Chains A and B, each alone.
Chain A
Amino acid sequence: MLRKRLLGAVVVRHGWAVQSFGYRRWLPLGKPECLVKNLDRWGADGIVVLAIDRGDQGPDLGLLERLGALGLSTPLTYGGGLATEEHARAAVSAGCERLILDTVLSHDPNAVAAMGRAVGVQALVAALPLVRKDNGEVLHLQYTTGAQASLPPSIRQMLTTEQVSEVLVIDAMGEGSSQGFTSELLDTVQIHTALPLLAFGGLAEAFQISTLLSRPQLAGVVVGNALNYREHSIGNLKAALTDQPLRLHRAHRDP
C-alpha cells in the first residue's frame, strides 16, 4: 500500500537557502545544495525546493542544474517561476520529478493545461497558500501582491477537474513557526477536491504531524526549518511516527 510521505523543504531566495518566517523575513542557512544533499542522505521521501524570488524570471534552471549534478536518489519537486509549458519541460529535463505551480494557477489556466500535456498531469502540484482569519474564514494569499481573497474560481475548477495531481496546502501564517499547522485549511480544500493533499507550514513536532497524517486524504507533510538543525532529522522524526504507515529508509548497499 502507498506510504504516507515525509518530505523535506528547502526555501531558496537569491540563490541561498533561507529559513523563512511567513515569507516575510528570512535567515540565511547556506548553500541549497548542502541542505538538499543532507535530505537525500537522510532518507526524505521527497525533497521540495521552493525558489521564492523568481517572479516572472522563470524557473531557476541554474539551481536545478546544480542540484541535478548531486546525483540525488530522492524525488525532487520544484516550485518557483513556473509559468509556461517550456518552463515545465526545462525543469523536468533538469531533473525534477514534480513541479509546484502557484501564480500561474490563477493567472493562466491555459498554461497549466499545456504543462499537463507536456510533462503529464502527474507531475503538477498546485500550491495553495491559505490564511485562516479570526472569524474562521479561509482566504487564498497572493504572495506577489499580499492580497487575500476567496479561492479564485479558476483554481476551484482546476481542482475539481483534476488538472493537477496533488495540492500543497500551505499555512501561510504558520510557515516558519513551530506553532502547528491550521488543520481547518485542509477542511476548506477538501470541499473542493478529492485530490491527495500535502500540508506545509508550522510543522515540526511528531504529534502534530501524526494527527495530520491520520487524515485519509493527506498523502504527506512537508517539513522545512525543523529538519535543518539536526543530523538525520528525518530518521528521528520517522522513528517518532511509528503509528503512521511510513517508509523506512534504506541506502544503497555498495557492491
Chain B
Amino acid sequence: MSSGRLTVGIVDYGVGNHTSVLRCVRQLGFRPRISPQPDQLDQADVLLLPGVGAFPTAMERLHATGLAGYLQRAAQLGRPLIGICLGMQLLAESSTELGFTPGLGLIPGAVEAIGEPRWHIGWNSLEVAEGQPLLHASDGEVMYFNHSYAFRGPETFVAARSRVREGSEPLVAAIQRGSVWGLQFHPEKSQGPGLELLERLIQAGGER
C-alpha cells in the first residue's frame, strides 16, 4: 500500500474503457496503476473494475486471466473495490445477457434486461437510498448512463436508483456491500458530479 497519495489499481482484463478511467483517476489526484497482474494490483489502496461490453465476454476474460478469483479473494479480505458500468454488473451473481452466465457473486442479485423501454442511455438523476452517507451529496445529481441490462437484487444492497420516466419503475444505479461498490453510470464521464462522487468513494476506500 502507498503512503500519501492513494493508489488506485485499475483491473485490466482486456475489456472496456480503461483509458478514460485512467485519465480520470489521474485527474482526481490519485495515483493510477493499470494492470492485469495480481502482484501489481496488490500495491493499490483501492481496486477499480471498469467495463464496457457484454457480460459473458467480460467474465470469460476475468476467468482466463485469473482475475475472477483474485477479485473474489480481495473482496473477502475487505479490500475496497469499485465496479463501473459493466464492472458493476460483474459483481452480481449472474446475468442473462446473451444467455445465462455466472458473475463474481460479490453482491447478491442478478443482471437482467431492463424491459420497456429497453435502453437507458443518457443523463439521469440519482435517487440515493437512506443510510448512504457517502452518496448523500450526490442525491439528485445527474449522471451519464449507457446500458440495457440492469441489476436486480435485495433492497439492502441498493445504494441509489434512477427512473427513465417520472413515475416509472426505478432502475438500480448503485449497489454496495461492505467495501464493494458498484456504479451503473459512468462517473468518469459524468463531468463534475461524477468526478466528485468517484473521488469520495476512492477517498473513503483508501481510509478504511
The reply to whether the CB of A92 lies closer than 8 angstroms to some CB of chain B is yes
Cross-chain contact A219 with B98 (CB below 8 angstroms): no
Choose among B26, B53, B119 the residue that contacts A119 (Cβ–Cβ < 8 A). Answer: B53
In angstroms, Cα B158 to Cα A214, docked, is 33
Interface size band for A:
35 or more
Cross-chain contact B188 with A73 (CB below 8 angstroms): yes
Min Cβ gap A71→B in Å is: 4
The reply to whether the CB of A180 lies closer than 8 angstroms to some CB of chain B is no
Cross-chain contact A252 with B191 (CB below 8 angstroms): yes
The reply to whether the CB of B193 lies closer than 8 angstroms to some CB of chain A is yes
Cross-chain contact B119 with A122 (CB below 8 angstroms): yes
The reply to whether the CB of B194 lies closer than 8 angstroms to some CB of chain A is yes
Interfacial chain B residues near A72, Cβ < 8 Å: 20, 23, 189
Most chain B CB inside 10 Å of its own CB: which residue of A2, A166, A249: A2
Question: Which residues in chain A, 66-109, are within 8 Å of chain B measured between CB atoms?
Answer: 68-76, 92-98
In the complex, which residue of chain B has the Cβ closest to the Cβ of A98?
Answer: B146
Interfacial chain A residues near B191, Cβ < 8 Å: 43, 73-74, 249-252
The reply to whether the CB of B136 lies closer than 8 angstroms to some CB of chain A is no
In angstroms, Cα B85 to Cα A75, docked, is 13
The verdict on A118 contacting B164 (CB below 8 Å), with A74-B189, A92-B16 known, is: no
Interfacial chain B residues near A122, Cβ < 8 Å: 119, 121, 146-148
Min Cβ gap B185→A in Å is: 11
The reply to whether the CB of A3 lies closer than 8 angstroms to some CB of chain B is yes
The reply to whether the CB of A162 lies closer than 8 angstroms to some CB of chain B is yes
Cross-chain contact A97 with B27 (CB below 8 angstroms): no
Interfacial chain A residues near B144, Cβ < 8 Å: 75
Min Cβ gap B6→A in Å is: 13
Interfacial chain B residues near A97, Cβ < 8 Å: 17, 20, 52, 146, 186, 189
The verdict on A253 contacting B122 (CB below 8 Å), with A71-B23, A73-B189 known, is: no
The verdict on A95 contacting B19 (CB below 8 Å), with A1-B124, A2-B165, A220-B122 known, is: yes
Most chain A CB inside 10 Å of its own CB: which residue of B18, B23, B121, B195: B121
In angstroms, Cα B193 to Cα A42, docked, is 15
Cross-chain contact A2 with B118 (CB below 8 angstroms): no
Cross-chain contact A73 with B52 (CB below 8 angstroms): no
Min Cβ gap B127→A in Å is: 11
Question: Which residues in chain A, 23-82, are within 8 Å of chain B measured between CB atoms?
Answer: 43, 45, 68-76
In the complex, which residue of chain A has the Cβ closest to the Cβ of B144?
Answer: A75
Choose among A69, A73, A95 the residue that contacts B17 (Cβ–Cβ < 8 A). Answer: A95
Cross-chain contact A68 with B120 (CB below 8 angstroms): no
In angstroms, Cα B190 to Cα A249, docked, is 10
Cross-chain contact A166 with B119 (CB below 8 angstroms): yes
Min Cβ gap A190→B in Å is: 15
Interfacial chain B residues near A251, Cβ < 8 Å: 191-192
In the complex, which residue of chain B has the Cβ closest to the Cβ of A166?
Answer: B121
Interfacial chain A residues near B123, Cβ < 8 Å: 2-3, 5, 45, 247
Min Cβ gap B103→A in Å is: 16
Cross-chain contact A68 with B20 (CB below 8 angstroms): yes
The verdict on A1 contacting B54 (CB below 8 Å), with A45-B123, A72-B20, A95-B19 known, is: no
Interfacial chain B residues near A162, Cβ < 8 Å: 118
Residues of A within 8 A of B (CB): 1-5, 43, 45, 68-76, 92-98, 116-123, 162, 165-166, 195-196, 219-220, 247-253, 255
Residues of B within 8 A of A (CB): 16-20, 23-24, 26-27, 29, 52-54, 57, 86, 98, 117-125, 142, 144, 146-148, 163-166, 168, 186, 188-196, 199
Can you show 14 pairs from A to B with CB atoms below 8 A apart?
A: A2-B123, A71-B27, A72-B189, A73-B192, A116-B54, A118-B54, A119-B52, A119-B53, A120-B86, A122-B119, A162-B118, A219-B122, A247-B142, A252-B191
**Nearest 10 A/B pairs, CB to CB:** A71-B23, A250-B192, A252-B192, A95-B19, A3-B123, A252-B195, A247-B123, A68-B19, A75-B189, A251-B192
